[in-house]
A and B are shown apart, each in its own frame.
Chain A
């Protein structure tokens, strides 16, 4: 895979809040995580949910979010995390801080 999305890359889920069907959980929006791997290339559920084919298919990435990133008041250890499949149109690259 070329482009800004690849395992190990830091990404942010877009802070968009449209009505309608999506598979991007609310709690991940605007949050940063790290790409774990490519799930697959899948027809877009936001299209298929309305009876359209959802093509071309879009890549879906598993993104690892630290619990402390999702919930600033998270009480558990730093290693706790949530892994969520995110469809690529919802992702934007995050510039690595140097």
Chain B
């Protein structure tokens, strides 16, 4: 059963020299992962397994750090570090914070 991520040797199109500077939210995902690994909450092996289990659709449709945060979240849910309901609330809270900051950015302190 060859899975989607195991792509060495398969035909593919030309290599395109795409690159971008990482956005702050991407660095945040990277930092979350590093801290979780350093604190032994999860391993890189679990991160990889979680990415592989997102399936071929997600693999092609999501960006690199979108796959990471999806995998990290699923692993933390599996381990009971996070709960589904509190995560739902926290996502809505994050959106509300963003909306509030966009409405009045000058009230956001810089330090």
Direct contact of A and B (CB under 8 A): yes
A interface residues with partner B (beta carbon < 8 Å): 17-19, 21, 25-27, 45, 48-51, 54, 70-71
B interface residues with partner A (beta carbon < 8 Å): 1-3, 6, 8-9, 43, 45-46, 48-49, 52, 78-79
Q: Does more than half of chain A's interface fall in helix, strand or loop, or is it mixed?
A: loop
B37 to chain A, nearest CB (A): 11
A48 to B78, CA, bound (A): 14
Closest 6 CB pairs of A and B: A49-B49, A48-B45, A27-B9, A49-B45, A21-B49, A45-B45
- Return 6 A-B CB contacts under 8 Å, by A number: A19-B3, A26-B2, A45-B48, A49-B49, A51-B46, A71-B9
A21 and B52 contact, CB distance less than 8 A: yes
- What A residues does B46 contact at CB under 8 A? 48-51
